[in-house]
Amino acid sequence: MSLTVVGSIAFDAIKTPFGERERALGGSAVHFSLAASFFTEARPVGPVGDDFGEVEYEVLRRHGVVTDDIEHVDGGKTFFWRGEYEWDLNTAHTLDTQLNVFGDFAPKLSEASRDCDLLFLANIQPDLQRDVREQCRGAQLAALDSMNFWIESARESLVETISGVDMVLMNDAELRMLTEEPNLVRAAGAVRSMGPRVVIAKQGEYGAALFTEDGFFSLPAYPLETVRDPTGAGDSFAGGLMGYLDSQSGAMDDATLRRAMAYGSTLASFWVEQFGCERAESLTREAIDERYEHFKRITSIDAVASPRPTG
């Protein structure tokens, strides 16, 4: 099985009440690929500029991420995002977005990336998402994320892109904004009527909700005492979820989707413990599985107290 993702590859300037970074490796495709790498081989697609060097490639390669479809643009500058969080870590305040090399990027995927089984259209300009969707016609499962920036600036294109995927994962506020529907159940229904069979609403520290034809499932976030930086929580959630689905041969029944959500939440819980994607460095599959098992025990309605893993 293989997993291709198109999305931003970025340098982020991040400030939270617990610290700041001026130039952290980030971007939706980077967070996603690193999280998915604990389950499968991920292939990010996107451009970078001259400021993206061996150090950054090495972070990806150390995790087995295949970097063949990262396109170096001579003389260009990598996508840049500046964001800030206040005490309410659920809301990112965007202070600056510089598309740079994404401005006139035309994706040309390698054969291996085009032949993927699973495809994730991470947060980026919806025309680019659709272009990649069209190049990966054989993918058995295609999913998409987006954000307010694109709903405001490219809504029509986003709706067209959504109509070509099987699953949408978006923040609940953005699902409401996209559909102009204040009720989340109706908003999810409105997105499903655009084409996708499955909608997953990400709800920050409150968890995530799954909407399918027959099913509804809600999962809280893993209860953490230390959250330093929520950047990448959504993308690592998606990376864990899609990585797990890839490891299950792309199964999309409700039971597999529920487990995939719990893996996604587990990955996101590790991500927010440190800045950007720094937590990936010391993370292991064993630690992920241990936290996943604990999460499963404590979220059962029949659960009794269960000790927390120490890792």
Residue numbers of the site for ligand AMP (CB under 6 A)? 8, 10, 12, 26-28, 31, 81, 97, 123-124, 147, 149, 231-235
Q: Which of 112/154 has CB closer to ligand AMP?
A: 154
Rounded to whole angstroms, how far apart are CA atoms 241 and 51?
31
Q: Give me the least distance between CB of 206 and ligand AMP, in Å please.
A: 15
Q: Which residue has the tokens 């040309």?
A: 108
Q: Give me the least distance between CB of 272 and ligand AMP, in Å please.
A: 9
CA proximity to 94, closest of 208, 163, 169, 8: 8
Q: DSSP secondary-structure letter at 176?
A: H
In this structure, what token pair is assigned to residue 275?
A: 């800045």
Q: Which of 88/214 has CB closer to ligand AMP?
A: 88
Q: Give me the least distance between CB of 74 and ligand AMP, in Å please.
A: 22
Q: Give me the least distance between CB of 308 and ligand AMP, in Å please.
A: 25
Per residue in 158-186, is it b (16+ CB within 10 Å) or e — as a string? bbbbbebbbbbbbbbbbbbbbbebeebee
31: left (phi over 0), alpha (psi -120 to 50) or beta: alpha
Q: Which of 89/117 has CB closer to ligand AMP?
A: 89
Q: Give me the least distance between CB of 303 and ligand AMP, in Å please.
A: 29
Q: Name residue 97's amino acid.
A: T
Q: Which of 12/131 has CB closer to ligand AMP?
A: 12
Q: Name residue 7's amino acid.
A: G
Q: Which of 117/122 has CB closer to ligand AMP?
A: 122
